[in-house]
Structure 1
């Protein structure tokens, strides 16, 4: 099986590589269109700022490649947000795979933004959450989130309920960092690789 991690100038990719190595999965880290299109599985991870990341995707043409992929694609953190239609972070038009807008958490007494640390997810649907216990804990670091919508396959509550995971056709996404979410995150990655 050929697994590709998309290279697009985002941070935190090394921990995704380590997570794949821990479960014995080899990978290619690339922004080459042919390599991406020929992959069995594509992972689109990262930490970063929406407008800068989208600018790099546009420069390389990956903003058109990613939405056209037919194999399973898994976006995490900023990867998930860029798969949405729009982000309030620097007024950024994103790829539009999921027809939903990413919004900043509203300032609310008693809640710090960014939402950072362990929180539980619930309302599971679909293949990515197979084998997870109810209200499993995962690790978040984000100031922006997609609301609960028709694509939501797991949700979380911080300030307001939001989409912890999305799915549409062959596109899967998680707002949290699977690669640093312990056994739960590893289970989700393994579930994705089995799709």
Structure 2
């Protein structure tokens, strides 16, 4: 089975926005790709003007997502004075059993059929905290930019999820979340600018 790979637009966030934004993205994908019937739950984000839907009453899934985010935050690499980056990969797989050594030894392997790859830049630059007009405008600009990038990622999630699903097995399957310290070399810095949302669309 070939693995379908979805590379999402790069996301740049302030330190305090990372957990909530990643929860939104990961839980959205897990809800969309749930292999069985689930109960939906709408979540209003505190740091963004967004509402997303997740699987309700699944504490194990919630813990796995939160643990993965904590591991991701610990794995970040320094790329500038106040910039860190990392990569999260959400993989869906099914377990396949086979026999080796003339059929005497049973072996089980994970067959990954879909991966969602998200590159994140964490910006630790202090935000202006004064109440003068310039500081207020700058805080709003940073907030609008972050919301625009999160919106762009979610739009890509829905676009990809709405595509062909021939690669998704009809049986029950599982997921895992992996984090790495550096971005994949297959994408260069130009991709970051290509994936940035248009500023004129931030208010839409």
TM-score of Structure 1 vs Structure 2, range by shorter chain:
under 0.3
> Greater share of helix residues, 1 or 2?
2
Computing the radius of gyration from Cα coordinates, the structure with the larger value is 2
TM-score norm. by structure 1 comes to 0.21
TM-score norm. by structure 2 comes to 0.21
